[in-house]
């Protein structure tokens, strides 16, 4: 379906991000419901301020209660609504999942 020539680049990026979020939900069942909830239509009004707060918190990671982990979460939330960020964020998710798979494989050996 992703190789369909009628799909625009924007639509392919959205589908890829959806596939990656579904894969995260399958590998971490505890995150399945929250991931589905934040992806619901009409929630952009909630996602946008939360994403900006997470990004700001990630940038202020020198404070003890904030951390660098907040930056990718904020970018992920922002990518749901901004087509410009969908491709880079889904690429980062793919790379991160591959890196984790390699580490798990090495650890099992």
- Residue 68: pLDDT band (50, 70, 90) is confident
Top pLDDT among 12 and 2 is at 12
The closest of 12, 32, 34 to 24, measured between CA atoms, is 32
Task: Please tell me the pTM assigned to this model.
Answer: 0.81
Scan for tokens 């909630």, then name that residue.
46
Say what the pLDDT of residue 3 is. 57
Alpha helices in the chain, H assignment, sequence order:
9-27, 32-38, 44-59, 70-81, 83-108
Residues 6+ positions from 92 with CB-CB distance below 8 Å: 72
- For residue 89, the tally of other CB atoms under 10 A from its CB is 23
pLDDT exceeds 60 at position 1: no
């Amino acid at each position: 379906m992703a190789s369909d020539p009628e799909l625009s680049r924007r639509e392919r990026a959205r589908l890829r991000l959806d596939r990656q979020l579904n894969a995260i939900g399958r590998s971490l069942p505890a995150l399945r419901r929250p991931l589905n909830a934040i992806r619901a239509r009409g929630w952009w009004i909630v996602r946008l301020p939360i994403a900006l707060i997470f990004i700001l918190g990630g940038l202020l990671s020198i404070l003890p209660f904030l951390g660098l982990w907040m930056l990718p979460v904020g970018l992920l939330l922002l990518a749901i609504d901004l087509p410009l960020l969908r491709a880079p964020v889904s690429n980062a998710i793919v790379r991160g999942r591959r890196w984790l798979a390699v580490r798990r494989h090495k650890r099992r050996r």
